[in-house]
Amino acid sequence: MVAVSALVVEVVAWGPDVGGGAALLAVFAGLLAFAVRLYTAPTATSAPPVGRPRSRTIPQWVKIAVATRDGGKCRWCGSAYELQYDHVVPYSHGGSSDDVSNIQLLCGRCNRLKSNRYVG
């Protein structure tokens, strides 16, 4: 990272002389693409190909998107009582926690009814 920082400092120092913003932007875009490649480069041992490790925890941004989409009500019966975030495809069956389409709002009663169907 020392090399990258030095490069950034150098580029910033040049900035106004080499055609201003566009050149600077192109260099930063290049650096960003490089960083993204480094971050997402697959390794021989990585099971999930990209991003964070698989987690049962539903991220905050997913909860906000789901609550907004479902209008703050149970998706099955429309109740606003005892609402819970539910995995459409259960986590234990390979369902994702950070895919908005796999999370829904259910009331406690509907969630318990659903859980009973997935026993076994």
Nearer to Zn ion, 76 or 91 (CB): 76
Residues 66-85 binding Zn ion (CB under 5 A) are 74, 76-77, 79
Nearest-approach distance from CB 70 to Zn ion, in angstroms: 11
Measured distance CA(68)–CA(29) in Å, rounded: 33
Nearer to Zn ion, 58 or 74 (CB): 74
Using DSSP's 3-state secondary structure scheme, residue 49 falls into: coil
Please tell me whether residue 105 binds Zn ion under the rule CB under 5 A: no
Q: What is the DSSP string of 3-39?
A: HHHHHHHHHHHHGGGTTTHHHHHHHHHHHHHHHHHHH
Closest CA to 96 of 35, 44, 51: 51
Part of the chain binding Zn ion (CB under 5 A), chosen from 30-38, 43-51, 60-68, 110-118: 110-118
Which residues would be at the binding site for Zn ion (CB under 5 A)?
Answer: 74, 76-77, 79, 107, 110
